[in-house]
Structure 1
Amino acid sequence: MSRPLPPRGLLARLRAPDFPWWLVALAGLGLGAGGWIASQAGLRQTIAILAGGLVTTLEVTALGFAGALALGFLIALAGRARLRWLRNLARLYVEIVRGVPVLVLLFWIAFAGVPAAVAGWNGLTAPLREAGLLPELLVRDVSLLMRGVLALVVAYSAFIAEIVRAGLESVPPGQREAASALGLSRLQRLRLVVLPQAIRTVLPPLGNDLVSMVKDSSLVSVLGVADITQMGKVYASGSFRFFETYSVTAFLYLLLTVPLSLAARALERRLRR
């Protein structure tokens, strides 16, 4: 005897134990906040001013995540290399970077690492500069925005390296052995067999890291970079409208992070199927 199909009406969906009531509440709060902002002339002015830092926030996030993804992938491969010194070097990098707060790392790279790198570059290229082939590089030539991006790249590359390493190790050893038996080289095994299977494992946590980077991009405001947070700090200190300014700041970040979080959840459910 066949089992009856579950009801598919709207009421049945609302009664389902996994119905996302939290999403309904979040949408209601978002609509309420949007209506409150639209109804107040002062808030409309605030959001217009803070929106000027939206492009900078997106730029910092995009550059930082792309760089961290590339560097983290290389570190993960180094951590699985045949050379023992390379594996230990990758492990050392991950442990040091993960043990330092992002804000401290940001200050160190901006005010210690970049000046040291500029001095080292000038020392290495001294003969070329004396011959007039290269100009002297100054610390001020490296913008504060790029220093902030570099700090985010270094900080997040360590976490992404661990995610990629776990994804690579999740592929059963029999897959590599079968690929090796077919005569594939090490690079072909990685590209054709391991990576396609590891991607399904690493994509959801990488989506979460992207959401985290959107939020941590606000740290570049301590360097004076004109992102959303910095624009909010400047406007609030001049207008003394702290409640309205930081409420709008939080609203703008939620507009960026919530859709990314929902996309990450949807991708995770799709990969599970």
Structure 2
Amino acid sequence: MSPPASTAALPLPAARPDTPAPTARRPAWRQRGIDLLLSWPFPLAVLLLWQVGAQFELIPPQILPAPLVVAQTFADLWGTGELQDHLLISLGRVLYGFSLGTSLGLLLGVSMGLSPAVRDYLYPTFRLFAQVPSLGWLPLLMMVVGIDEALKIILISKAAFVPVTVNTYNGLRNVPTSLIEVSRVFRFTRWQLLRRVVFPSAFPTLWNGIRYGLTHAWLALVAVELLASSEGLGFLIVYGRQLFQLDVVLAAVVVVGAIGFALDKVLSVIETRLLRWRRESF
């Protein structure tokens, strides 16, 4: 009887060619650094084209001043304190209007999201109100409240009110039914259901509404200051246009964009902290 063949002589199964090799996951800080580097080439290319066009006068300097001229104008406005004065006035208007609009939006959104009766009574009227842009109310409000600060606060509040209300309502209405059923199994009270299930589940959507509300409030501020104001960043843009000082216009536009980006970034950081707290609380 012949001895059994050695197992070493048996053919090994060939590796599947379509199986990807495991790759090491990049650390979070390295990935953020790569994303940051990838975000810079396009704005730098735009800035370079702007400088080349201004240097060779492809566009008349009266229409498009050079970047260095705009930077010098920004430094002059900052040095005299004029830019800070207009900026503080605009930020104050946004703070008041956004706070008022967000408070009313959260109140209405929570009421419609938790009460079918309130939703049936108010939701159709709210949708009709939301379809009219903020500036669409400008002529009527100018006749009612004039062109003073009340006009600006009301329009900014309306701009923040709509997205906050919509996202709050949708967040509460879209809580997974499986979570509701689990809470019933544990015999949660209504307050426990709201505190431990409904609001934590709806929080990401609700916070997105607050972020959109701040963005819309900032945009509405600039728009209303362009049309009816004697102070603020929007007025500074109009003032530069009227005097045909395009360097002042561009300096103010850069500040508007930078401040809007910074405000959204602050809310993004707060959201990350709050969501981490929410995960740790479960």
Fold-level match, TM-score > 0.5? yes
Deviations 1:54-90 (A, max 9, x none): 1121112112222121111121123235453x22332
Distance (whole Å) between structure 1 residues aligned to residue 32 and residue 186 of structure 2: 52
The residue number in structure 2 matching 1:88 is 120
Instruction: Find out whether 1:66 has 2:99 as its counterpart.
Output: yes
Which stretches in structure 2 are left out of the alignment for 5+ residues? 1-14, 16-20, 52-64
Deviations 1:24-62 (A, max 9, x none): 54478789999725763x453345433321112111211
The answer (yes or no) to whether the contact 1:49–1:231 under 8 Å persists in 2 is: no
The residue number in structure 1 matching 2:68 is 36
Shift of 1:217: 0.9
Which stretches in structure 1 are left out of the alignment for 5+ residues? 115-139
Q: Give secondary structure in 2 for the equivalent of 1:91.
A: helix
The residue number in structure 2 matching 1:174 is 178
Q: Give secondary structure in 2 for the equivalent of 1:71.
A: helix
The answer (yes or no) to whether the contact 1:232–1:246 under 8 Å persists in 2 is: yes
Distance (whole Å) between structure 1 residues aligned to residue 113 and residue 272 of structure 2: 29
Within a 5 Å distance, the mapping from 1:8-47 to structure 2 comes to 21-23=38-40, 25-26=42-43, 36=68, 40=72, 42-47=73-78
Within a 5 Å distance, the mapping from 1:1-273 to structure 2 comes to 3=22, 5=24, 21-23=38-40, 25-26=42-43, 36=68, 40=72, 42-47=73-78, 48-82=81-115, 84=117, 86-112=118-144, 114=145, 144-221=148-225, 222-224=227-229, 226-237=231-242, 240-263=243-266
Shift of 1:261: 3.9
Higher-Rg structure is 2
Greater relative CO, 1 or 2 (CA 8 Å, sep 6+): 1
Q: Give secondary structure in 2 for the equivalent of 1:80.
A: helix
Deviations 1:181-220 (A, max 9, x none): 5454434422332112211233234323312321221133
User: What letter is aligned with 1:72?
Assistant: G
Shift of 1:92: 2.6
Distance (whole Å) between structure 1 residues aligned to residue 196 and residue 224 of structure 2: 39
Judged with a 3 Å threshold, the aligned counterparts in structure 2 of structure 1 residues 35 and 95 are, in CA distance, closer, same or farther, namely same
The structure richer in helix per residue is 1
Distance (whole Å) between structure 2 residues aligned to residue 198 and residue 14 of structure 1: 28
The answer (yes or no) to whether the contact 2:102–2:213 under 8 Å persists in 1 is: no
Distance (whole Å) between structure 2 residues aligned to residue 268 and residue 27 of structure 1: 30
Distance (whole Å) between structure 2 residues aligned to residue 15 and residue 184 of structure 1: 45
Aligned residues: 238
The residue number in structure 1 matching 2:55 is none
Judged with a 3 Å threshold, the aligned counterparts in structure 2 of structure 1 residues 88 and 106 are, in CA distance, closer, same or farther, namely farther
Deviations 1:11-35 (A, max 9, x none): x96997x665234544787899997
Shift of 1:7: 7.4
The answer (yes or no) to whether the contact 1:204–1:265 under 8 Å persists in 2 is: no
Sequence identity, in percent?
17
Using structure 2 for the length normalisation, give the TM-score. Answer: 0.67
Judged with a 3 Å threshold, the aligned counterparts in structure 2 of structure 1 residues 81 and 245 are, in CA distance, closer, same or farther, namely same
Judged with a 3 Å threshold, the aligned counterparts in structure 2 of structure 1 residues 101 and 165 are, in CA distance, closer, same or farther, namely same
The answer (yes or no) to whether the contact 1:73–1:160 under 8 Å persists in 2 is: yes
Shift of 1:4: 5.1
